[in-house]
Amino acid sequence: MHTFAVSGRDVTRAWIAACNALDRRDNPGRTGLHTVVRIAEPTTDDTDFRAELDRLRTGAGHEPVQTVANTIFPASTAAASSDHSDLVARYRSVMPRLKSYSGNRHGTYFGRLIAYPGADGAPIDQLGTIISRLRHQAKSAGPMTAAYEIDFAHPDDGADLPPTAALVHAAGKDNLYRGFPCLSHCSFQLDRDGTVHAAALYRSHYMFERAYGNYLGLGRLLAYIAQEAGLRPGTLTVVAGHARLDGPIARIRPLLSGTQQLAA
């Protein structure tokens, strides 16, 4: 079994380290199991590098990294919102339109974060609950460190999904071998120095197609939670049950080796 645990200062360096850990001569399938990627500063990346990666992604028929990141956290919508309630209202209002795009036919992860289907059918703002709990605990004398969990699956997930649903995994119903769901769980830890850290568990991660955008989106989500709770964003750890370096490998390698320009 090929596996690895790598660290990087920011999203770009962590992604490069993870890809290089998969692209080894003793790993001809460029796959790994139970891989771990730790990002010290998940709110930052090299924008020039991202532009080069986007150029390569566009040529391979993929959407820009920013589009992937937005499925986890819509940064521009958040920036235009007056507060968290406004962000929730804005995003819920556009969910039907977002679902019309083929890649979002099951919804988006952020949609499940702020509109989880409640028992009575009313949407639940899980993200707001996490922020409120962190804010309250951070002000207490003995704050709870590990009491901030977000699950995405719902017992009623199935063919009649509500507009805001994003499948992750529902036992007995989500039995496809490939495709959605991928992100299974997010966990947040409150450090008593006023920092909040995040961990995300993926069942599968395609490094070229999704991973960079997912890292970026998770980092922005962490930064937003920290800001709203009056805390500092800390580290991000991403665990993947299965990871694969996909895409046009020969053209990706110049990026992984530090070459500024992609292969022609």
Can you list the residues of the chain whose pLDDT is less than 50? 153-181, 262-264
> What's the confidence (pLDDT) of residue 243?
97
The 10 Å CB-count burial string (b at 16+, else e) for 1-24 is ebebebebebbbbbbbbbbebbbe
Q: How far lies 181's CA from each of 101, 129, 248, in Å?
A: 17, 23, 24
pLDDT of residue 100: 77
What confidence tens digit (pLDDT) does each residue in 221-256 have?
999 999 999 999 999 999 999 999 999 999 999 999
Specify the pLDDT at position 138: 87
pLDDT of residue 5: 98
pLDDT in tens, 160-180: 433 333 334 444 444 444 444
